[in-house]
Amino acid sequence: MENKKKKRIVIALGGNALGNTLPEQMKAVKITAKAIVDLIEEGCEVIVAHGNGPQVGMINNAMAALSREDANQPNTPLSVCVAMSQAYIGYDLQNALREELYNRNIYDIPVATMITQVRVDADDPAFDAPSKPIGHFMTEEQAKIAEEKYGYIMKEDSGRGYRRVVASPKPAEIVEIGAIRSLVDSGQLVIACGGGGIPVTRQGNHLKGASAVIDKDFASELLAENLDADFLIIITA
């Protein structure tokens, strides 16, 4: 029975399940790592995807503050903020997972974060109707400045102030799926499609970052399909 095929599971962690601040995230990933390594000990093959709601908002705010402070610093595109969030969430997650594996004397499962681009269609109707709020709340006055200076689309959010809204297009293709599949097939624990993936549109051979946020549940579902996973588990908090 030794060669029984392992169950392949994609686990999607909600951005809020990772805490709202850096110290909160450090704590949250330790708990998450235990649950993931439990599944590995039960003989499952696990791929981790995650949201980035609070984190991408924090990065976006920090970069916007930098551009307000320094006139020579252009505003950072949202796609770059998503890439930054993938890297730093991945860094925390892969360290916590590696530590938890070592604590249980499992030394033969390398952990890797794949910075993942996800192609969306440039003519996805979501681009005509941005609806996904990101970043902090602003006063009406601040919102007007953001609209004029950065071309943001601002919406009033249930009496709590104004927030930037961006498109949330459907994921069409995971660009790095070949590399992800190779790592998973070779027995590595892979963290991929963070924050739904870095949204890109195809222009010939060029992939252009899009000002959007892809829903992590849809991206995780596509990842699970592409990897022929047996299960997709979505953990929100």
Average pLDDT over residues 92-108: 97
What pLDDT shows up at residue 204? 96
Max mean pLDDT among 17-26, 117-126, 153-162 falls in: 117-126
Residue 237 pLDDT greater than 70, yes or no? no
- Taking alpha carbons only, the member of 83, 20, 77, 80 closest to residue 53 is 20
Given the DSSP bridges, would you call strands 189-191 and 44-50 parallel, antiparallel or unpaired?
A: parallel
User: pLDDT digit string (tens) for 187-221?
Assistant: 999 999 999 999 999 999 999 999 999 999 999 99
Mean pLDDT over all residues of the chain? Answer: 92
Determine which of 32-36, 143-147, 180-184 has the lowest per-residue pLDDT on average: 143-147
Secondary structure (3-state) at 173: strand
Distances (CA, A) of 150 to 54, 68, 144, 169: 21, 11, 10, 21
User: pLDDT digit string (tens) for 11-55?
Assistant: 999 877 788 788 888 889 999 999 999 999 999 999 999 999 888
In the chain, what percentage of residues exceed pLDDT 70?
98
Q: How far apart are the first and last CA of the chain?
A: 36
DSSP 212: B
What pLDDT shows up at residue 1? 45
